[in-house]
Amino acid sequence: MFGVDVGGTFTDVVAIRDGKVQVTKVPSSRVDPAGSVVEGARRLGVAGSPVFNHASTMGLNAVLERRLPKIGFLTTEGFRDILDRGTVHRPLDAQTDPSWRRSFGDAARPLVPRYLRRGIRERKTARGETLFPLDEAQARHELEILGRTGVQGIAICLINAYVDPEHELRLKELVHEVLPGVEVSISSATSPLAKEYERASTTVIDVIMKLLFSDYAKQLDTDLGGLGFDGQLNFADCAANLLPWEEALERPFRILFAGPAAGTVSSGHLGAVIGRRNILCADVGGTSTDVSIIVDGKPFVQNTFEIEHDLIINALSTEVSSVGAGGGSLVTVSPSGGILVGPGSAGAEPGPACYGRGGTQPTVTDAVLLMGVLDPHGFAGGEFELDAAASERAFAELDTPVPFEERIRTTYRLAVAHMAEEILNVAVRHGVDIRDFSLMAYGAAGGMLLPAALDLLPLKEVIIPPHPGLFSAIGLLSTDQVYYESESAYVVFGPDTIDDVAAVYDRMEAKLRERLGGIAEGLPVRRSFDGRLVGQSWEIPFVQIPAGPITGETLSELVTAFHDAYEARNGNRFDTIPVEGVTYRVELVVPAEKVDYRPAPEAEPFPASPEGALTLSYVAAEPVQAEWFSREKLTTGATVTGPAVIREQLSTTYVPPGQQAVIGRVGEIIITEVTK
Amino acid sequence: MQTFPRPREERLYVDRKPVAAICPECGGSDIRAYRVLSEGGWWNAEKCQDCLASLSRTPAPALGSYVPLGTTVPRTAR
């Protein structure tokens, strides 16, 4: 099985054969992005693999950096600025700032410049009646103008097209007539949901992704075939669910970003094997720490994905919060002379001062190296030597009255505190008791920093999974194929309307099953809806519908399911207020081949044998003697008492004083406080 | 009493002066210069009349054509 995570700097390729993990890193190429993936596949030998699961930040980076193809946007006359206004929400810190501008607005960096957004004379009402017929002559004229400007794609989002797509379908035909060869996305096919801004921005991103990924995916499929791969090429979506590549390209806005979600899925899969259903997930990278949550075995999924503030697409996505603290976070000095950590980062180039690539500012990694936790000779699998003298110089040159040893100690503590704060924020936002949760710490720096969060948060335990640096890529081999359809219709649930709701679900399920053919046979469909109390503007998403037919007899179950979901989110319920459905969704899960964790038999705890001794500095007032262990040699039941360091090829785990680590049945390190 | 003349035209239009240039976006030759009100205030813009791309855009007086009386008095006379 192959999992590939294409990042901005490196492409990580992971292959799992007979339970053994192989990995290679290939520099990502902007000129030939498929080339680096194919090179990684060639190195590890892709022939005979049943699946090749792919996630990429290529689309997201293109949007963030505005390296976008030239596209036009057609909408109902009078509405061309919907892309500029967004949802009109301002972030909290911009409420009183008159100079604040939306990052994708016309005064900043729009996805589609205003002159390429054209109004079309037509209008459908919210009931689907034609108020003004489509003015085809005017539409042709606008398309001819767009053609002269050299657009490569057209996004079409007409008002109320989610109710009746007639005009959008005709416009699409006109685009094919007037501008043959130009890619088109229409909102009624891309995301037929209410709320025109989100529908419009989703359609724009969709056509951009078609232009970015169509040739790429075809080339990838062909080149992998050339290497002897005859399995299934899948793309991961924003919730790290897999889609066969041809299916993904039907509505490619869904594959915009899969990286962080893959880590959450990986945590859920490992958690199921080792019997943990409530997990806080923290992926510690170089620049940031991404935090997500799994409650009762299920990742928290939302019905939208926010690319930048207010730049929203209607994609099911795993909720991930980020904080600007990671291994490469820069250490700076505040105006009053105190130590600050992050949110700036040294990035991959030049990287921390100890990398010796020209970085002069100290980072969290420099602090951990000076503490003695990191091995300067074995970093990143021994790929390069770390320069402790450069780290010392960088800390010494900080312009602060804080004593040298306190600078390092504070850097480490602050980095951990920033991460712990975000973990606590996520727990509080979801109204869960952190004492019931395990913290899954991954990313190459997860084990090095997060066990210390146990000193700040009353977590049950910290778990360092096997291969923490590759855990997100392994997540691509821990997930299923998930297909879904959704539709919007404002319907107040009642005896007179329940048949309309049932008809929507029947239609969507039939469409989904027809699309999937034989693979859907015998598999159940999950149904959910986004609903609200009559009079409200915002919905409670993912209200699960009980199994069985939707009829007048089961209406009360449907309404009760909504009130239960409302109470779970808001803490109170209003049973007397009628419920209005807005968006309806059907999902079909096709099980895919996954990484197979094989638990070893239970073993009584026993003290592990250390590889050697080391001295840890800046941990306490005086240097502390500790032992270090090789993770490869630790078997189930092996116990390590802190202070101690557990080293492996691509990662290091630091067990602080007062903590104990036990090796679990699949090789995970379970760290708990022993002094509490 | 009105202190300004009553408009004689039914609607007012900004005067769009022709500019000798070719639109780099669509190749159109009907380029006009006029003032537009957009995010960030008033702008002197040169725009293609076919595709509406802006060839140039420079900040215009913050209040557009309105000139507050006080600002017209020479500094030395105050």
Q: How does pLDDT run across A255-273, given as a tens digit for each residue? A: 998 877 899 999 999 999 9
Contact at CB, A115 and B25, closer than 8 angstroms: yes
Is residue B65 in a domain? no
Is residue B71 in a domain? no
CATH of the domain at B33: 2.20.25
Largest interatomic CA distance in chain B: 51
From residue A611, give the alpha-carbon distance in Å to each of A389, A614, A633, A634, A635.
25, 10, 10, 11, 14
Q: Is the pLDDT at B75 greater than 90, yes or no?
A: no
A421, burial (CB in 10 Å: exposed 0-12, middle 13-18, buried 19+): middle
Q: How confident is the model at residue B77 (pLDDT cuts 50, 70, 90)?
A: low
A283, burial (CB in 10 Å: exposed 0-12, middle 13-18, buried 19+): buried
Contact at CB, B39 and A107, closer than 8 angstroms: yes
Q: How confident is the model at residue A535 (pLDDT cuts 50, 70, 90)?
A: very high
Q: Is the pLDDT at A676 greater than 70, yes or no?
A: no
Is residue B24 in a domain? yes
**Between A and B, how many residue pairs show a Cβ–Cβ distance under 8 A?**
32
Q: How does pLDDT run across B2-36, given as a tens digit for each residue? A: 777 888 888 888 899 999 999 999 999 999 999 98
Residue A285's pLDDT is 83
Is residue B4 in a domain? no
Higher pLDDT, A159 or B61: A159
DSSP one-letter code for A31? S
Q: How does pLDDT run across A290-346, given as a tens digit for each residue? A: 999 999 898 988 888 998 899 999 998 999 988 888 888 999 999 999 999 988 888
Residue A560's pLDDT is 94
Higher pLDDT, A580 or A521: A580
Q: Average pLDDT over chain A, rounded to whole?
A: 91
A141 touching chain B per CB within 8 A: no
Mean per-residue pLDDT, A109-113: 95
Is residue B42 in a domain? yes
* Nearest chain B Cα distance for residue A148, angstroms: 5
Q: Tell if the pTM clears 0.80, that is, is over it.
A: yes
Is residue B26 in a domain? yes
A176 touching chain B per CB within 8 A: no
Could you list the residue range(s) of the whole structural domain that residue B55 is in? 14-59
- Give the tokens for residue A143: 């398309």
Contact at CB, A148 and B54, closer than 8 angstroms: no
- Give the tokens for residue A381: 């699998």
Q: Is the pLDDT at A129 greater than 70, yes or no?
A: yes
A361 closest CA partner among A332, A326, A340? A332
How many other CB atoms are found less than 10 A from the CB of residue A614?
17
Q: Is the pLDDT at B78 greater than 60, yes or no?
A: no
Nearest to B27 among A84, A101, A148 (CB): A148
Q: What is the spatial distance between Cα A139 and Cα A159, in angstroms, rounded to a whole number?
A: 15
Q: How does pLDDT run across A366-420, given as a tens digit for each residue? A: 999 999 999 888 776 666 789 999 999 999 999 999 999 999 999 999 999 999 9
A residues 24..53 contacting B (CB < 8 A): none
Angle between helices A166-178 and A136-148 (to 10 degrees): 50
Contact A653/A661 with Cβ under 8 angstroms? yes
Residues of chain B with pLDDT > 70, as a percent, come to 87
Contact A444/A649 with Cβ under 8 angstroms? no
Least confident of A24-33, A460-469, A572-581: A24-33
Q: How does pLDDT run across A593-615, given as a tens digit for each residue? A: 788 888 888 889 999 999 999 99
Contact at CB, B50 and A145, closer than 8 angstroms: yes
A301 closest CA partner among A238, A243, A364, A244? A238
Q: How does pLDDT run across A406-430, given as a tens digit for each residue? A: 999 999 999 999 999 999 999 998 8
* Nearest chain A Cα distance for residue B39, angstroms: 6
Contact A384/A322 with Cβ under 8 angstroms? no
A471 closest CA partner among A233, A185, A271? A271
- Give the tokens for residue A51: 């699946």
Is residue B38 in a domain? yes
For A113, the closest chain B residue by CA position comes to B53
Nearest to A149 among B26, B38, B54 (CB): B26
Among B29, B36, B52, B55, most A C-beta atoms within 10 A, so best to mutate, is B52
DSSP one-letter code for A363? B
A119 touching chain B per CB within 8 A: no
Is residue B49 in a domain? yes
Q: What is the spatial distance between Cα A153 and Cα A146, in angstroms, rounded to a whole number?
A: 10
Domains of chain A listed by start with CATH number: 67-212 (3.40.50), 481-590 (3.30.1490)
Residues of chain A with pLDDT > 90, as a percent, come to 63
Q: Is the pLDDT at A547 greater than 70, yes or no?
A: yes
Characterize A463-502 residue by residue with b for buried, 16 or more Cβ atoms within 10 angstroms of its Cβ, and e for exposed. bbbbbbbbbbbbbbbbbebbbbbbbbbebebeeeebeebe
Phi and psi at residue A529, in whole multiples of 5°?
-145, 155
Structural domain count, chain B:
1
